[in-house]
Structure 1
Amino acid sequence: MARDTVMTRPLADPAFFARAFIEAGALAWPNGFELSADSLYRRLDEAGALIRSAA
């Protein structure tokens, strides 16, 4: 994923980042940037950042 684009640059501002909401099952921001649940899960899994609790 590109980290410094017109769509992602505003996310560096904590006040803008905090304006996140869920739209049609995707994590979204007011500028139209969205991350689908599948995409977010895959990226976190690939980075080893998912925390799985013992069931």
Structure 2
Amino acid sequence: MNTPTRDDSVQPGTSPLDKFFAVIPAGGVGTRLWPLSRAAAPKFLHDLTGS
């Protein structure tokens, strides 16, 4: 039988949403990322951080 384990990455009194950032993609021509950004693959779907 599996026993539930506590997630120690969140301290008591804090919320996982404290480290949550909303990203709102904005439109535009986007010529700087033109080879990557196409109608079928918008910029906000690409990993630009290298991670």
Kindly name which structure, 1 or 2, has the bigger radius of gyration based on alpha carbons. Answer: 2
What TM-score does the superposition give when structure 1 sets the normalisation length?
A: 0.18
* Structure with greater proportional helix content: 1
Q: Which has the higher strand share?
A: 1
